């Protein structure tokens, strides 16, 4: 099994486009619920493949780096090896099955086509929904009339109100007996109001954690926003530069998420590169790969952020 397949399947759950560098892109769009021939067709996500999109947007590479704990260059090699194996399989057998995603077919004219699975985990929020057959109003009315015709007659049994009073009294007595029989623990040490030092109250102070030891927990690589942080407080965040290589420490889908991460991070001089679908937060930048790598090692950036990697901006290169 190819290493990139589970990453593609996982990323398609929350992303409409996952690009495999040097191979193509898996693209999904939503289909709304429709009514056809008395059937309510459930909504779903339709998955397709575009061979023309092959540039590296960093999404798949970043997923492999986080999962395997490897560097950017090694993740690129993993993708290249899997793409080469996938192309070889298509040439030899004419098809390749992608578990959990679909099947790729290569025609005699070297045209690549894609057949998605009818039901898979990439359906996202629509996973598990099935089509339903709708009943006509006339059929429902006729069924209700049939039930009424066969409904048995009600039998009235007179019940005295005293029975309910006796039952309520018994319930109250049982509840009181349960409450009175339950032991109640009392604290012999009284509580006093006042100011007590941590030493006299035998309270151990909480350890102080420096900013360099703090860890930002990211569930989908998104820093949680601070409710007390106003939008105006983000106006002084530095964004972008004209460099070619960047030492990236985090990647986000929106600019606000990137700015909030920069506010909470202990790293100095953080800036943002990117626009549109991805925003990359970087600590250093330069005009060559070796220059950026030297600066990252000099500032011990890999000790603070082990997942840091070097990104090349093709727009400036």
Cα distances from 157 to residues 154, 160, 167, 168, 265, in angstroms, run 10, 10, 18, 20, 75
Tell me the mean pLDDT in the region 111-117: 87
Q: What is the pLDDT of residues 125-178, one digit of tens each?
A: 655 566 677 666 666 666 666 666 655 566 656 667 778 788 888 998 888 888
With 0-12 CB in 10 A as exposed, 13-18 as middle and 19+ as buried, what is 140?
exposed
- Note the pLDDT of residue 186: 53
Give the whole-number percent of the chain exceeding pLDDT 90: 20
Strand partners, 248: 282, 309
List the domain boundaries for the chain: 4-133, 216-312
Weakest-pLDDT range from 9-13, 171-175, 233-237, 299-303: 233-237
Range among 36-45, 213-222, 229-238 with highest mean pLDDT value: 36-45
Laid out side by side, the sheet with 102-106 consists of 95-98, 102-106, 112-116
**Cα 12 to Cα 204: distance, rounded to the nearest angstrom:** 48
Q: What is the pLDDT of residues 77-87, one digit of tens each?
A: 999 999 999 99
What end-to-end distance do the CA atoms of the chain give, in Å?
36
- Note the pLDDT of residue 60: 92
Show the tokens assigned to 288.
């060559």
| R_g of the chain computed on alpha carbons | 32
- Note the pLDDT of residue 64: 93
List phi, psi (to 5°) of 137. Answer: -60, -40
Q: What is the pLDDT of residues 173-202, one digit of tens each?
A: 888 888 887 766 554 544 443 333 433 334
> pLDDT: is 276 or 7 the higher one?
7
Show the tokens assigned to 148.
């009424």
Show the tokens assigned to 74.
């090694």
pLDDT band at residue 230 under the 50/70/90 scheme: very low
Contact 112, 53 (CB under 8 A): no
Tell me the mean pLDDT in the region 263-274: 87
Instruction: Judge whether residue 211 has pLDDT over 50.
Output: no
> Which has the closest alpha carbon to 275: 247, 297, 252, 292?
252
Contact 90, 42 (CB under 8 A): no
Weakest-pLDDT range from 50-54, 110-114, 186-190, 240-244: 186-190
């Amino acid at each position: 099994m190819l290493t990139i397949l589970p990453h593609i399947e996982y990323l398609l759950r929350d992303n409409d486009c996952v690009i495999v560098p040097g191979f193509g892109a898996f693209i999904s769009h939503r289909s709304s619920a429709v009514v056809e021939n008395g059937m309510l067709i459930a909504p779903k996500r339709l998955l397709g493949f575009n061979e023309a999109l092959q540039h590296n947007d960093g999404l798949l590479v970043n997923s492999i780096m986080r999962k395997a704990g490897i560097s950017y260059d090694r993740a690129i090699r993993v993708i290249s090896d899997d793409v080469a194996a996938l192309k070889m399989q298509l040439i030899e057998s004419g098809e390749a099955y992608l578990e959990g995603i679909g099947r790729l077919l290569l025609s005699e004219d070297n045209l690549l086509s894609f057949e998605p699975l009818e039901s898979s985990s990439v359906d996202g929020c629509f996973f598990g929904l099935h089509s339903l057959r709708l009943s006509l109003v006339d059929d429902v009315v006729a069924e209700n009339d049939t039930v009424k015709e066969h409904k048995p007659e009600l039998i009235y049994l007179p019940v005295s109100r005293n029975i309910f009073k006796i039952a309520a009294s018994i319930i109250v007595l049982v509840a009181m007996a349960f409450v009175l029989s339950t032991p109640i623990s009392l604290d012999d040490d009284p509580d006093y109001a006042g100011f007590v030092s941590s030493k006299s109250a035998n309270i151990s102070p909480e350890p102080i954690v420096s900013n360099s030891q703090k860890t930002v927990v990211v569930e989908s690589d998104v820093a949680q926003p601070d409710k007390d942080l106003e939008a105006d407080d983000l106006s002084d965040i530095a964004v972008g530069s004209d460099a070619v290589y960047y030492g990236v420490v985090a990647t986000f889908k929106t600019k606000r998420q990137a700015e909030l991460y920069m506010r909470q991070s202990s790293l100095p001089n953080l800036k943002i590169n990117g626009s549109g679908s991805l925003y990359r937060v970087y600590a250093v930048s330069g005009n060559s790969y070796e220059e950026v790598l030297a600066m990252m090692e000099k500032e011990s950036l890999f000790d603070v952020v082990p997942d840091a990697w070097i990104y090349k901006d093709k727009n400036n290169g």
